[in-house]
Amino acid sequence: MNEEELFRTARLLVADHKGLLAMDESNPTCNKRFARLGIPQTVEARRDYRELIVTTPGLCESISGAILCDETIRQKKKDGTPFVQVLSEAGIIPGIKVDSGAKDMAGHPGEKVTEGLDDLRDRVREYSQMGARFAKWRAVITVNDRLPSRGCIEANAQALARYAALCQERGMVPMIEPEVLMDGDYSLERCVEVTEEVLRTVFNQLYRQRVNLQGMILKPNMVLPGLNCPSQEDVNEVADATVNCLLRAVPAAVPGIAFLSGGQSCELASERLNAMNMRFKSRMPWELAFSFARAIQQPALEIWLGQEANTMAAQQALLHRARCNSAARRGEYRAAMEFEQ
């Protein structure tokens, strides 16, 4: 492993007030989102949509890296140019999702453990030869009165650490995503408690598996009350709870934290990221960025609707969200930006 190169890639992913675009929805997830909008759920429609994304002019001004899935990394533009090449030539670092999904965890009703370690060394080698420079793995943690269990947190944290070590062995930056799900009626305080425990466990395992923290990116949830919790704290309260939780649990050696959006509205995700950067900029040892899927893509998808004639308008909407989130990284996002498209 060339350590310097690994560290450089990790730093580049969170440099210049940019963030990441997660476009790594598995086929079932992508199909579900297409079905809701009446878009055909075919390989060709998924390819067309991903071509729209990777060819959006000016995207590299706000987006440092794009996460692809196995189907997409093998796809090409209509003119035959591989998507990986399109991204690289546009100055966007190509990445790949390498987990094979969260599966029901034996002995742990209601909980999931993420799989995909078995042939990972070979897959990482192949993806790296195809041009991917970072790799993502997502673990999901369910919260209610009795969950998560220690067993679930530990199994997922160990898998995350083993995947991260395999990535670094090949010079790929691991983007480590332990997601505390937003579903439920739990309070903000409960989310603080669970997120902190999960992150501490993950970093403990990363240490044990000899993962170099300078060559990784963390992709956590923001700390939020469950979607059905009657009390929904305001943007500043969420920002304070999130950053304080991260300050307690994430070592300063980590170059960057890039949040998932998790089902928040586009505007709230931008507002909350903005508040964190505004309120804590000088006190955070890491860059605080974004790695959103829905909170960047959703408006574009709703405009595109599978129609070629809507491509340019959809690209405009995608660019707009990318720019809003880049502004949020600088602490310069304002609600008025939403009317400036």
Active site residues: 177, 219
Q: Rounded to an integer, what distance in angstroms lies between the CA atom of residue 59 and that of residue 87?
A: 10
Cα radius of gyration rounded to whole Å, the chain: 19
Q: Which of 142, 261, 270, 315 binds ligand 5MM (CB under 6 A)?
A: 261
Looking up tokens 């969950």 gives 147
26 binds ligand 5MM (CB under 6 A): yes
Q: Rounded to an integer, what distance in angstroms lies between the CA atom of residue 250 and that of residue 260?
A: 16
Residue closer to ligand 5MM, measured from CB, 1 or 23: 23
Q: Rounded to an integer, what distance in angstroms lies between the CA atom of residue 40 and that of residue 329?
A: 35
Q: Which of 6, 24, 52, 318 binds ligand 5MM (CB under 6 A)?
A: 24
Q: Rounded to an integer, what distance in angstroms lies between the CA atom of residue 5 and that of residue 46?
A: 33
Q: Rounded to an integer, what distance in angstroms lies between the CA atom of residue 188 and that of residue 235?
A: 12
Closest by Cα among 199, 257, 265 to 232: 265
Tokens for 225, please give them.
């009350």
Q: Rounded to an integer, what distance in angstroms lies between the CA atom of residue 299 and that of residue 294?
A: 9
Helix (H, G, I), strand (E, B) or coil at 138: strand
**Nearest approach, Cβ of 153 to ligand 5MM (angstroms)?**
17
Closest by Cα among 103, 127, 104 to 115: 103
49 binds ligand 5MM (CB under 6 A): no
**Nearest approach, Cβ of 71 to ligand 5MM (angstroms)?**
11
179 binds ligand 5MM (CB under 6 A): yes
Residue closer to ligand 5MM, measured from CB, 95 or 215: 95
What ranges in the chain are assigned the alpha helix state H? Answer: 3-13, 27-36, 43-54, 70-73, 83-89, 120-130, 150-169, 188-208, 235-249, 266-280, 294-304, 311-330
Query: Given the rule CB under 6 A, which of 2-10, 23-31, 51-59, 160-168 is the region that contacts ligand 5MM?
Result: 23-31
328 binds ligand 5MM (CB under 6 A): no
Binding mask 207-226 for ligand 5MM (x = CB under 6 A): --------------------
| Contact present, 190 and 201 (Cβ < 8 Å) | no
**Nearest approach, Cβ of 95 to ligand 5MM (angstroms)?**
10
Residue closer to ligand 5MM, measured from CB, 260 or 314: 260
Residues 123-152 close enough to bind ligand 5MM by CB under 6 A: 138
**Nearest approach, Cβ of 19 to ligand 5MM (angstroms)?**
11
CA 220 to chain centre: 8
Q: Rounded to an integer, what distance in angstroms lies between the CA atom of residue 239 and that of residue 272?
A: 6
Query: Given the rule CB under 6 A, which of 2-10, 22-30, 199-207, 250-258 is the region that contacts ligand 5MM?
Result: 22-30
10 Å CB burial of residue 125 (0-12, 13-18, 19+) is: middle
**Nearest approach, Cβ of 98 to ligand 5MM (angstroms)?**
11
**Nearest approach, Cβ of 120 to ligand 5MM (angstroms)?**
16
Binding mask 82-111 for ligand 5MM (x = CB under 6 A): ---------------x---x----------
Q: Rounded to an integer, what distance in angstroms lies between the CA atom of residue 171 and that of residue 328?
A: 30
What is the pairing mode between strands 93-97 and 63-68? parallel
228 binds ligand 5MM (CB under 6 A): no
Residues 265-324 close enough to bind ligand 5MM by CB under 6 A: 292-295
Residue closer to ligand 5MM, measured from CB, 26 or 204: 26
Residues at the interface with ligand 5MM (CB under 6 A): 22, 24-26, 29, 67, 97, 101, 138, 179, 260-262, 292-295
